Structure 1
Amino acid sequence: MSQTSLRTSCLVYGLLGPLEVRDAQGGTLRIPPGRQQTVLGALLLEANRVVSVDRLIDIVWEDEPPRTARTQIQICVSQLRAGLDRARGEETIQTQAPGYRLRVADHQLDLTAFTAARAAADAAVARCDDLEASRLLGEALALWRGPALSGTASRVLQTAAAQLDEARLSAREALADVGLRLGRHHALIGELTLLVDEHPLRERLRGQLMLALYRSGRQSEALEVYRRGRETLVEELGLDPGSDLQELESAILSADPRLLLPDSSSAPPAPKDDDPARAALAPFQLPRDIADFTGRTREIEEIGALLSADGGTATRIVVLSGAAGAGKSALAVHVAHQLAESAFPDGQLYRDLGASGAAPATAEDVLGRFLRALGVPGEAVPETLDERAELYRQSLAGRRALVILDDAVDGRDLNALLPGSSSSAVLVTSRSRLAGLAGARVIEVEAFDAAQAVAMLREVIGRDRVEAEPEAARALVRLVGGLPLALRIVAARLAARRHWSLGWMLERLSDERRRLDELAHGEMMVRASLAMTYDGLDPDARRLLRLLSLIDGPAFPTWTAAALLDMDVYGAGDLLEQLVDTQMLEISGIDADSSPRYRFHGLIKLFARERLEHEDADEDRRAAVERLTGGWLALTAEAHRRLYGGDFTVLHGTGTRWPLPERHTQGLLADPLRWLEAEHGHLVSAVSAAAAAELPETCWDLAVSLVTLFEARCYFDDWERTHDIALEAVRRAGLRRGEAALQCSLGSLHLSRSRLPQARARLEPAAAAFEELGDLHGLALARRNLALLDHIGGDVAAAAELYGQALEGFRAHGDLTGQAHVLGQLGHIALVHGDEDEAGRRIKAALEVCRAAGGGRIEVQLRYRLGELLLRQGRLEEAQATLGELLERVRAVQDINGRARIAHRLGVVEHRLGRTEAARERLLEALECHERLRDERTGAQARLDLAEVLVELGDRHQAARHLGRALPSFEEFGMTGAAGRARELLRTVGPV
């Protein structure tokens, strides 16, 4: 075949927008959505390379492929090949072990054309031909039709699409740079304004807009763009703008002539086109970088080269090893920030493992946090370590991400936290060399040499002061042994007291020669330096520093200091600021009540804890813990009251509470659930602290009160862990009511996890204990949960009787939310059994009680039941309005469980109304949620309902596909009625 005939018969493939295939005449070749589009997208991303069948299975089904996955892939490829070959007239997809290869010429794929045009534009820039570069970049961007691969559902494809979208944005930035050099600043303002609105954290775009506005005579607007950007960066990331943006602001303020075009009075240097783009990252967990970080040039280059190098098939691992206080963590964070944009655009995961502390993080906890950051819903986080590690490796597969594991102790314990592919890298800090971490490259982080140490002094206290006393500066460096932490503390004291000379500082240090001599012996260097600062504090500040070491976690709110000292918040705040001034604490952010949050450096916290053990009596430490945990309990209980309208569906103990002033409480709990989420770590730690301090009443009260958070966010691990700790505490103290409350709550946990035998094993002893104790409220809670067990098990009569008894108990106690929940369940029983009138009465009565309580969470469940009733009664328009409003509410609060159920029910209603397109959209949304939750049971029902809609829309193939996926689940869960419906429908549409 000649080259001419080949071109006239070839297909053109599009990845830069919705997946598209066009024939030689410009017509669109329809590729069925779903599996065929996913497989074609995967083959095109690896055009002219073999993609294995195993890889295609992973892309299509991700975690749980069916037993017939290989056969289904073969069928899918066969159908896809037939459609493409008919349009082209020759074979397109070749079978080649271990999979398939899609033959594509360069001119057939838009991605290839984009890459070639971008490379040619870069070459034009290199030879200073901006006009040609502008033309080529324009051609490259014209190939885009929207977000890459939009419409495809595969998570793997969407990860690749995100990288393509990043390349598009980088090209738009490059075009803006060229346009600015060509004097097109007026024309660029509109587009750059839109881009900055879409990507507010991208500093390169913001700088381009500032320069375009400045050159257009709009200086004040340029400065306003900087101000808004700084506020966004601080609010979102806790970071100030980078040095380039800060320098640009300064240049605008001073009307620097170098900002003008080359043909103006003074030309600026050419912009740097090779600046790495700041990717819009998720996740981005890095702590903030140190603004005045100095030195370590050799180590930074070596670490960067090792992490960025091609490691073949192995994960790149770099360990920073050194003595305490050598600056390992600061160096790791600094390098990670430098590499984030260029080498690891898909995210940075960070966790302080706390190996040097009293409670090091477990691998299960770290993996749980990482999986949530990678987009796995709380409900879908596996329970076991092995399952979490497997899902973690899969979630990182193909991502260019950096994992930072700070303060590790044993390399063998880190294996579960390592990615499985070579696309990601790991940076570890440790006091040891971690010999058990196979394949790691170890870099020793040693003390500063004289030049680096003097450079740090110069950066922190100012060049003039160091150059005025060079000998004193060098002597100070020698006295602290070049240790970065000790040197930074000395420099901070000088910076805070500008009237002190370096000679006076040197004399003060010399007066404490015994301690300074110890700086040459390992950790004693840090301890002596910290003691020097500690001894200069006021007595109250010293006491506060010691007591703050009782708080688990590096960061804490202002009010905790007030609780520890039993004083007002403002007085405690003044003492905290003294500790900040002396570098014993750092500001970590601003709380919801506008007060600052603070954090320890890990070594300073260890020092403070040592001083606590030496200087404070046991009874004083216990009293401080009682106030601190009492503060967390008071706020948690109030958060529950605001969410539920009162102390409903929760039991409380007699532990001491330390209430905050109303103004602070109001500010912190303006959004109660958000506060609970933000303080999650502290609250869980407070349960352990109360147990360790032998405060069992506070311990169990706090544990059960936290179920408000655990249930809403599916923190099942924390739910179980805190309750196990509290159970041990109450049993040791002989608190039967506390034990019953915890057992009842654990029964709810097992119900949430569908562990029905375990739930009954907890609930029945709890109910018996409550009855013996005469605790009617606790008994009502236990009976409600036991009724739900019977309800799920099919014993409706027993469930109805227990619900009735629970209702009486809730009424006697005045628990409105409990009443509303039970009435709703009784309404559901009536609805299932066809008594629509009784169901309506029950649900409406529940809603009236719920409105009286003022709690919004139970109302959503009740109105969902009402929507179900309206559907059964044929009042479809009312059902659609009710469920539509509910769907918006659960979307707003990111309730994925609620979205799954409500979108599913709304899809059924839309179908009954004849709105098939709307029904398909809602059912697809429900199915997506079910799959994220890994809820095979209800997900299969959603597939069945969706298949019925697809049949009406004429998409028989997709209908058959969903039915084929649903049937095994129906059979597994014994859903015979649904299985029968699926088989009957499958017979009408044919096999998958």
Structure 2
Amino acid sequence: MRNLILTSPVAEAGIVFRVLGPLQVDGPTKTVRIPPGRQEVILACLLMEAGRLVDTDRLLDLVWPDEAPDTARTQIQICVSRLRKSFTEAGVSASVVSRAPGYLLRTDDDSVDLQVFNRQVMASRVLVKEGRLAEAAERLRAAVALWRGPCLSGVPSDALRTRGLRLDEERLAAIETYLGLELNLGRGHELVGEISQLLHEHPLRERLRGQLMLALHRSGRQAEALDIYRAGRQLLNDELGLEPGEELRQLETAILTRDPALHLPATPAPVTASPRVPEVPTAPLSPYGEEQPHQLPADTADFVVNEPILRTIEAALVGGDGRRALGLVVIAGKPGIGKSALATHVAHRLGAQRFPDGQLYCDLRGVGVDTVSAKDALGRFLRALGIPGPVIPDSTDERAEMYRTLLASRRMLVVLDDAANEAQIMPLLPGSSSCAVLVTSRSRLTALPGAQRVELDVLDQEQALQLLGRVISADRVNQEKEAAIALVRTVGGLPLALRIVAARLAARPHWNLASMVHRLANERHRLDELAHGEMTMRASLSLTHDGLRRPDRRLLRLFSLAQGPTVPGWIAGALLDDDRPFPSDLLEPLVDVQMLDAVAIERTGEFRYRFHEVIRLFAREQLTLHDGEAVQRAATERMIGGWLSIAEQAHARIYGGAYTVLQGDGMRWHPPAGYVENLLTDPLEWLDSEQPNLCLAVEQAAHAGLHELSWNLATTLVTLFEARGYFDQWERTHQRALQATRDAGNRRGIAAVLASLGTMHLSRQQPDEARQSLTAALEIFDDLEDLHGLALCRRDLALLDRQIGEDDRALVLYEQAARDFDRVGDVIGRATVLTQSAYVWMRRGHTAMAQEQLDEALAAFRSVGYSHGEAHALRRAGQVLLRRGEHAQAEQVLTKVLEMVRRSRDIIGEGHLLRNLGEVYEASSRHEQAREAYTQALTVREKIIDLGGAALVRLDLARLLFHIGEFAEAGGLLEQATETFRARGMRAELREAERLAQELPTADPSAA
């Protein structure tokens, strides 16, 4: 889907809102007049943040930077209302949505010129990475052409003008970027005039001056290039008293010395379609950089700071430079007291300055039914730190060891929210004093050694009034000060209860505070059998709940069925069976009264939502009281059917169709097509981001008896599990689905899950378990005459046979699988079988047969755009060429595949390809290049702590060094490899390493 972004033109015709120049709104037939002054400022701010929430306080500061009048909020509301009316009258397809605590402008992605500009700049970066320099330059030129003058010129706001100046600077940076690209494309003589004009307008920009010098130099005008440098040097000296920067000085020296480095870079050769004679330039051999995760949720806008507590926590986390123990703080307190908000606020305050290597965050959901285990949390953290899924160990202890190793030399903050007990926390503690851990829990966790404990209490009167004022306005609090104090006393200073009550007041400006105190007091008397803290929360929730409209109350109840840390808005449509294009609109009334939190914005512009656990439990109680089992089951079925619908579409976009996966008969509910289209621009990324929700949906379906949906969603998610190495999630979801299908006697579902578990065991290198699952599945599929299921099982059983050297049996199974895939029209399944069986033919020396199968597989992969399959088949083609002795062609093919896996950030694939290239270089006696490739492969393996893979590369490198006579270094590598092989039970590799070690001379002859 990314290519859709890269090939779409800059759609000037679709732009409605323009901020890249004077503020302008273009309706279908005429330009919409926006009155100067307040409306201009408000619209400009909303457009600069299109699709994001703008706090009313920010609008107040922009319109009245000195002091806002008492009627300021009312005037803002009036301005927004007039903007809405102007849009409606002019036929402009946009809306300004009220969303506590402010407003957001919702419109199409292509309707705001600033968003179009930003998207085109991002697309150009992708094009540059893919080597498509001319297209990248063209894209940037079109993006810069969107400017019609200085950004937001004429808008009466100093703050917005400052923002506009930053955007004007981005425009100049984009210009300099496309000039640099075009210079490298050999267009220097065409650019001299354009750059000269730009330099005249911006004489102090050294990058432009350097580009003009380079353009002149490459046009044979060296003297003029040097004159440009001297003029710039004089100008800088006169204006600023400075000398030119280092880059400009080096460029002058290079021109004076006619440095060959100034010549045009070589143009990459075109890539041919066939793997036999590819033409690919050698890629640089470089590992990925260190991962720096920043996982903190957003800070709370109306957070009330308790400075003494903040200082206590920060001192315990940061400590002095000589601290020798881990900084560990536990924030404890009752539900709704503000533990998570405080932890998030502290983490943001310390952030990059104190913990520059990143922040890890995990909601452990200690009081929920879906508590996160230490093992799962470690898996998440290891992936965030750059460890690919297949390399992550299976046991909790091994994961904890790897985690501590990665954090040993880093300054990182770990936030563990809502912990259940000490056992959940202990494996997640780093071993280094350079890190710190911040824990929230309803328990004090007294068994955590060395922890500083902070127990939160309710807000005092001053803090509570401050919080109330931030939600409903300080003026309103001051006007009814006694009633405000009584309200604070009534809710007991509990922050969550106060926010809920305040949100209802904010939504009803005509209510006075005294009436709310009276209502809440009556509600408390009705619930006087409850304990004080619970009574306060229940009273606040009941009062707000009963004030909602009937449809909103129903949605609140049904929305509690949605599980997961955060939930997308389309689920509201599924629960109500409402197919409106913007289903999140249904949730706005619940957000307005703070019964639901809008916590993030998706790439589609839609919000993501989260219940506070206390509110979720309340909503579940209401669900049990008001909605029967049939209603709950139907809503759950639609919701899970929605997850399955999107997951199937994601799979189809990755594989080019519904290939290599079985489909069941469960009900699908389809979210809005336009929403899904935007959501799946990167389908694997969407699957990854929604992994917790998708896994919970499988388990929820199993629990609800929706066995067909459960197995179908579980097996569809293998697309994600296999790509990311989520073996824990793979096994857990499939075991739940397997139990559900067995309870229901669903034989096809049982077989589908068993077959998928067989694939998982194969990936985990558990051959006995894999054969057992696959054989059981094969028998059921055979009885059901399910050709697709039979093909999937035979493909994996053939791989098992191939791995133990039973090549004849493997080829028979491969032939049967390819035939059945062909019969059911699964072109990718067939191509995968051909790629795997080609390896057997290559190993037997039948390279012509192997190449024939690979050619067919490549054609199939390319026909549907399945890039992962193409990369795998090309790698095999490179190995075939190496086996034939066609080293140059093998190098070109494998280099192309290396570029492909690097673009997809497949670090494991990168390690394999670097090792393969080392084999090519070694076979063609290019020993230094072989050594470099093996060394890079070793670096990759060590980075991801793949001990077994690193030992294999050490053996390769030791073998190379042995043959070129560097015996001492070879011996050291063999010693390390032997130790790993012995510890990991890699017997064949151990024998090879010991054999080579015995052949080493007792002393290095070169040392004599």
Q: Could you tell me the TM-score, scaled by structure 2's length?
A: 0.68
Alpha carbons 2:356, 2:412 under 8 Å: kept: yes
Code of the residue aligned with 1:836 in structure 2: it is: T
Partner of 2:347: 336
Partner of 1:383: 394
Partner of 2:297: 287
Alpha carbons 1:367, 1:392 under 8 Å: kept: yes
Q: Secondary structure at the match of 2:415?
A: strand
Residues 752/362 of structure 1: CA separation in 2 closer, same or farther (3 Å cut): same
Alpha carbons 2:966, 2:1004 under 8 Å: kept: no
Equivalent of 1:447 in 453, 458, 469: 458
**How far has the Cα of 1:624 moved from its partner?**
0.9
Residues 990/358 of structure 1: CA separation in 2 closer, same or farther (3 Å cut): same
Partners in 2 of 1:352 and 1:563 — Cα distance?
26
**How far has the Cα of 1:771 moved from its partner?**
1.0
**How far has the Cα of 1:779 moved from its partner?**
1.0
> Equivalent residues in 2 for 1:908-947 (5 A)?
908-913=919-924, 915-932=926-943, 935=946, 938-947=949-958
**How far has the Cα of 1:697 moved from its partner?**
0.6
Alpha carbons 2:920, 2:930 under 8 Å: kept: yes
Alpha carbons 1:963, 1:986 under 8 Å: kept: no
Partners in 1 of 2:701 and 2:669 — Cα distance?
14
Partner of 2:893: 882
Partner of 1:773: 784
**How far has the Cα of 1:426 moved from its partner?**
2.5
Equivalent of 2:163 in 196, 214, 223: 223
Partners in 2 of 1:648 and 1:609 — Cα distance?
39
Partner of 1:851: 862
Alignment deviations for residues 26-69 of structure 1 (CA, whole Å, 9 cap, x no partner): xxxxxxxxxxxxxxxxxxxxxxxxxxxxxxxxxxxxxxxxxxxx
Q: Secondary structure at the match of 1:404?
A: strand
Partner of 2:835: 824
> Equivalent residues in 2 for 1:696-775 (5 A)?
696-775=707-786
Partner of 1:431: 442
Code of the residue aligned with 2:541 in structure 1: it is: L
Partner of 1:298: 308
Moved more, 520-529 or 503-512: 503-512
Unmatched tracts of structure 1, length 5 or more: 1-217, 232-279
Q: What is the aligned residue count?
A: 727
Code of the residue aligned with 2:742 in structure 1: it is: R
> Equivalent residues in 2 for 1:647-726 (5 A)?
647-726=658-737
Partner of 1:974: 988
Alpha carbons 1:970, 1:978 under 8 Å: kept: no
Partner of 1:324: 335
Alignment deviations for residues 306-352 of structure 1 (CA, whole Å, 9 cap, x no partner): 32335965434322222211111111211222223444333322222
Partner of 2:417: 406
**How far has the Cα of 1:932 moved from its partner?**
4.5
Code of the residue aligned with 1:293 in structure 2: it is: F
Alignment deviations for residues 399-437 of structure 1 (CA, whole Å, 9 cap, x no partner): 333322222232344222223343333222222222333
Alpha carbons 2:291, 2:386 under 8 Å: kept: no
Partner of 2:612: 601
Bigger RCO (CA 8 Å, 6+ sep): 2
Partners in 2 of 1:768 and 1:502 — Cα distance?
71
**How far has the Cα of 1:633 moved from its partner?**
0.8
**How far has the Cα of 1:471 moved from its partner?**
1.5
**How far has the Cα of 1:851 moved from its partner?**
2.9
Equivalent of 1:628 in 616, 628, 639: 639
Unmatched tracts of structure 2, length 5 or more: 1-157, 172-289
**How far has the Cα of 1:755 moved from its partner?**
0.8
Residues 880/292 of structure 1: CA separation in 2 closer, same or farther (3 Å cut): same
Partner of 1:275: none
Partners in 1 of 2:943 and 2:389 — Cα distance?
10
Q: Secondary structure at the match of 2:721?
A: helix
Residues 440/981 of structure 1: CA separation in 2 closer, same or farther (3 Å cut): closer
Partner of 2:128: none
Alpha carbons 1:810, 1:816 under 8 Å: kept: yes
Partners in 1 of 2:515 and 2:169 — Cα distance?
42
Alignment deviations for residues 933-984 of structure 1 (CA, whole Å, 9 cap, x no partner): 5555554443344346557888665444334333556774314885488448
Partners in 1 of 2:168 and 2:906 — Cα distance?
31
| RMSD, aligned α-carbons | 2.9
**How far has the Cα of 1:860 moved from its partner?**
1.1
Q: Secondary structure at the match of 1:866?
A: helix
Equivalent of 2:493 in 482, 485, 488: 482
Alignment deviations for residues 358-409 of structure 1 (CA, whole Å, 9 cap, x no partner): 2211111111112222333222221112222222233332433332222223
Partners in 2 of 1:510 and 1:588 — Cα distance?
31
Q: Secondary structure at the match of 2:533?
A: coil
Code of the residue aligned with 2:768 in structure 1: it is: P
Q: Secondary structure at the match of 2:299?
A: coil
Q: Could you tell me the TM-score, scaled by structure 1's length?
A: 0.69
Code of the residue aligned with 1:482 in structure 2: it is: G
Partner of 1:90: none
Residues 616/442 of structure 1: CA separation in 2 closer, same or farther (3 Å cut): same
Alpha carbons 2:641, 2:668 under 8 Å: kept: yes
Alpha carbons 1:281, 1:345 under 8 Å: kept: no
Partner of 1:786: 797
**How far has the Cα of 1:575 moved from its partner?**
1.8
Partners in 1 of 2:931 and 2:790 — Cα distance?
45
**How far has the Cα of 1:745 moved from its partner?**
0.9
**How far has the Cα of 1:565 moved from its partner?**
0.9
Q: Secondary structure at the match of 1:522?
A: helix
**How far has the Cα of 1:529 moved from its partner?**
0.7
Alignment deviations for residues 71-101 of structure 1 (CA, whole Å, 9 cap, x no partner): xxxxxxxxxxxxxxxxxxxxxxxxxxxxxxx
**How far has the Cα of 1:474 moved from its partner?**
1.2
Q: Does 1:573 align with 2:584?
A: yes
Q: Secondary structure at the match of 2:366?
A: coil
Alignment deviations for residues 272-313 of structure 1 (CA, whole Å, 9 cap, x no partner): xxxxxxxx9922222111122114222212222232335965
Residues 221/801 of structure 1: CA separation in 2 closer, same or farther (3 Å cut): same
Equivalent of 1:548 in 547, 559, 567: 559
Alpha carbons 2:373, 2:424 under 8 Å: kept: no
Residues 291/515 of structure 1: CA separation in 2 closer, same or farther (3 Å cut): farther
**How far has the Cα of 1:628 moved from its partner?**
0.8
Partners in 2 of 1:833 and 1:969 — Cα distance?
30
Partner of 1:111: none
Partner of 2:654: 643
Alpha carbons 1:447, 1:483 under 8 Å: kept: yes
**How far has the Cα of 1:719 moved from its partner?**
0.6
Partners in 1 of 2:170 and 2:430 — Cα distance?
34
> Equivalent residues in 2 for 1:466-477 (5 A)?
466-477=477-488
Alignment deviations for residues 188-227 of structure 1 (CA, whole Å, 9 cap, x no partner): xxxxxxxxxxxxxxxxxxxxxxxxxxxxxx9988534767
Moved more, 814-823 or 404-413: 404-413
Partners in 1 of 2:444 and 2:714 — Cα distance?
39
Q: Percent identity?
A: 49
Equivalent of 1:493 in 488, 492, 504: 504
Alpha carbons 1:516, 1:525 under 8 Å: kept: no
Residues 989/591 of structure 1: CA separation in 2 closer, same or farther (3 Å cut): farther
Partner of 1:85: none
Alpha carbons 1:398, 1:423 under 8 Å: kept: yes
